[in-house]
Amino acid sequence: METSSPIPFAPSTTIPLPLPGEVFLAGSQGLMPLAPHHCRNEAAELQSLLVRHPGLLPSRQINPDDPPRWLLIQEEMPVPDPTNGVDRWSLDVLFVDHLAIPTFVECKRMLDTRSRREVVAQMIEYAANGHHYWDAVDMRARAEKSLGSEALQSWITTHTAVSDPEAFFQQVQANLRDAKIRLIFFLEEAPPSLPSLVDFLNKQLNATEVLLVEARQYRMAEGAGAGLPQDQRIIVPRVFGYTEQARVAKRASRQEVVNAMGGGSTGGEEAFLAALAEGALPEATRTAIQTLLDAWSHTPEENQPYWKFLKTANLVLPHKQTKRNLIQLCADGAIGISFGYWNLECYPNSPPAMQDTFTRLVQQLQERCGWHFTAEQLKGYPYVKPDKWLAHTHTLIDIFNSL
């Protein structure tokens, strides 16, 4: 198989923070208190932990409508000195997301006294200098080294609206040059002054997002939970700095990014059909696409599936108590399956109709089309190329109509 929601966050002062003895693990032994865990080794307990588990950057808090999917470029990313071009500093972690937005991350433990003005100045300096020295070729090579070329291709095909790594990294470079980037301070506990500083910066910068992710850690309190592993930790990440006011300030810039990646809200049916006409698709692919388009209404209908046209054609099932896309039909002939919008692990509180739909969709695609997806794909947005779905055109229509 080839693969290819905004929430206003309350200021930190309105959220009472847990105190020692206020966080518990409920189990067969009753309530076991958890104690705050303060990192001793910044690299091992924060930086490397984040590299292994990028989900600690809470995507749904950052953008509930379109949660970022993270791609590691490099840990300890070299940053050159602008005066001589020699690598002088290193950024803790450089990610990009599925919209090709470079994401700078600096990790600091609570006991590091630099977690205030110095770390903010340091981050801005990195962003300013990386802007001049990192390019598409360099970042792609580093991502391939971090992930492997095949895994990188799979990630781009699965999570983005493009299938060509070169095109994706050219957009990463363009966003970097235009300061359409994201700066994240990743701390186990933020000093009181930093959230307000980050919030101020975030409101002033129209293209650059500045966020603070506080990842508080807890472990089993001493003497509690006999027989249970004492080295396990609970990590609770939450985002500061992205108020509704900041979202409004960045709306135009972020829409430009979305449009550049082929996912903008502009377009419509005429634009989609025009893109189809301009493409050099084989006649069999054009016929199959038209068959799918003819199977459902092109305007919203109550309790009936319909196509919603952006720069892609998106099949919506309103009778399943959701307006989330089920599939995405692209102008290059690929079909994207929006498992990520329907997966129970991603949306555990989804209504029963959605849960049943997801289960039956996966089952029927396996049984009737012979398609099998990895656990990661079932949480994401895999793309199926035309040579894999053309023979199943009418079967797909039957499957979607039966949901």
Q: What is the pLDDT of residue 13?
A: 37
Q: What is the pLDDT of residue 383?
A: 82
- Work out whether strand 182-187 and strand 102-108 pair parallel, antiparallel, or are unpaired: parallel
pTM exceeding 0.75:
no
Confidence of residue 266 (pLDDT cuts 50, 70, 90): very low
CA pair distance 144, 165, nearest whole angstrom = 10
- Across the chain, mean pLDDT equals 80
Is the pLDDT at 328 greater than 90? The verdict is no
Is the pLDDT at 19 greater than 80? The verdict is no
Instruction: For residue range 151-182, list pLDDT tens digits in order.
Output: 888 888 778 877 778 889 988 998 998 889 99
Is the pLDDT at 228 greater than 60? The verdict is no
Is the pLDDT at 127 greater than 80? The verdict is yes
Q: What is the pLDDT of residue 98?
A: 92
Is the pLDDT at 120 greater than 70? The verdict is yes
CA pair distance 315, 328, nearest whole angstrom = 6
CA pair distance 122, 128, nearest whole angstrom = 10
Is the pLDDT at 28 greater than 90? The verdict is no
Residue 48: which of 37, 59, 56 has the closest Cα?
56
Instruction: For residue range 360-392, list pLDDT tens digits in order.
Output: 999 999 999 999 988 878 877 788 889 999 999
